[in-house]
Amino acid sequence: MVSTTPRDYPGDLRKPAKLAHEYLVMECGEFIARGQGKVMQANGVQQLVAS
């Protein structure tokens, strides 16, 4: 799985979305989003990791 953080890809999730088969987003030790890499942008993941 590819780790995607705002530090690695500021404001642009196109590269990790192409590399990741699946993604998980954590906040305060809890998973708040997960899904297939190809739908990261449609699921608003960029807004989750940028906030």
The residue to which tokens 């404001």 are assigned? 11
Asked if 47 and 12 touch (Cβ cutoff 8 Å), the reply is: no
Give per-residue pLDDT as tens, 6-38: 555 555 666 665 677 888 889 999 999 998 888
Nearest Cα neighbor of 22 from 8, 36, 12 is 36
Nearest Cα neighbor of 40 from 7, 11, 18 is 18
Give pLDDT, residue 11.
56
Asked if 22 and 37 touch (Cβ cutoff 8 Å), the reply is: yes
Domain range list for the chain: 14-50
Question: How many CB atoms lie under 10 A from the CB of residue 24?
Answer: 13
Tokens of 6: 């705002």
pTM listed for this prediction: 0.56
